[in-house]
Copies of this chain bind each other. A is one copy, B any other.
Amino acid sequence: MALHPDRLFPIEPDARGIARRLFSAVERLPIIAPHGHTDPLWYANDEAFPDPASLFVKPDHYIFRMLYSQGVRLEDLGVPRQDGGPVEADGRKIWRLFAKNFYLFRGTPSRLWFEHALETVFGIEERLGEKNADALYDRIAERLTEPSMRPRALYKQFGIEVISTTDAATDQLAAHDAILKSGWDGRVIPAYRPDAVVDASRTDFITNVEDFVALAGTKLDYEGYLEAHRVRRAYFKRRGATSSDHGHPNARTADLPVSAASALFERVLKGASPEDADLFRAQMLTEMARMSIEDGLVMQIHPGSYRNHNPALFERFGTDKGADIPRSTGYVEELKPLLDAFGNDPRLTLVLFTLDETSYSRELAPLAGHYPALRLGPAWWFHDSPEGMRRFRELTTETAGFYNTVGFNDDTRAYMSIPARHDMARRVDCAYLARLVADHRLEEDEAVEIAHDLAYRLAKQTYKL
Q: Which residues of A contact B (CB under 8 A)?
A: 1, 3-4, 6-12, 14-15, 65-66, 68-71, 103-109, 111-112, 127, 306, 309-313, 322-328, 330, 332-333, 336, 339-340, 343-344, 346, 355-358, 361-363, 365-372, 374, 382-383, 385-388, 394-395, 397-404, 435-436, 438-443, 446, 449-450
Contact = CB atoms under 8 A, between A and B. Distances in A.
A107 B336 contact: no
A75 to B, nearest CB: 13
Given A324-B366, A382-B398, A387-B397, 4 more contacts: A7-B441, A104-B403, A312-B344, A328-B362
A314 B220 CA distance: 40
A441 B386 contact: yes
B399 A382 contact: yes
A370 B107 contact: no
Contacts of A312: 340, 344
A439 B6 contact: yes
A108 B7 contact: no
A127, A344, A368: residue with the most chain B Cβ atoms closer than 10 Å: A344
A442 B106 contact: yes
A339 B310 contact: yes
Nearest to A366: B325
Contacts of A346: 71
B112 A441 contact: yes
Nearest to A367: B325
Contacts of A336: 309
A11 B323 contact: no
Contact of A372 (B70, B365, B403): B70
A274 to B, nearest CB: 13
Nearest to A327: B332
A68 B372 CA distance: 6
A327 B6 contact: no
Given A8-B440, A310-B339, A443-B127, A398 B386 contact: yes
A329 to B, nearest CB: 9
Contacts of A108: 397-399, 401
A342 to B, nearest CB: 10
B362 A355 contact: yes
Contact of A309 (B107, B324, B332): B332
A403 B111 CA distance: 14
Contacts of A355: 362
Nearest to A447: B106
A310 B371 CA distance: 8
Contact of A446 (B106, B311, B441): B106
Given A309-B336, A332-B327, A401-B107, A362 B358 contact: yes
Nearest to A446: B106
A240 B400 CA distance: 38
Contacts of A109: 398
5 contacts: A107-B436, A107-B442, A326-B366, A328-B362, A387-B398
Contacts of A438: 11
Contact of A104 (B3, B365, B382, B401): B401
A403 B362 contact: no
A106 to B, nearest CB: 6
B107 A69 contact: no
A446 B129 CA distance: 12
Given A108-B399, A344-B313, A356-B362, A8 B325 contact: no
Contacts of A450: 106-107
Contact of A322 (B311, B326, B330, B370): B370
Contacts of A68: 370, 372
A398 B106 CA distance: 8
A71 B442 CA distance: 24
A346 B109 CA distance: 26
A103 B395 CA distance: 19
A35 to B, nearest CB: 20
Contacts of A435: 11
A440 B7 contact: yes
A367 B69 CA distance: 9
A9 B402 contact: no
Contacts of A446: 103, 106
A325 B368 CA distance: 10
Contacts of A368: 69
A442 B336 CA distance: 44
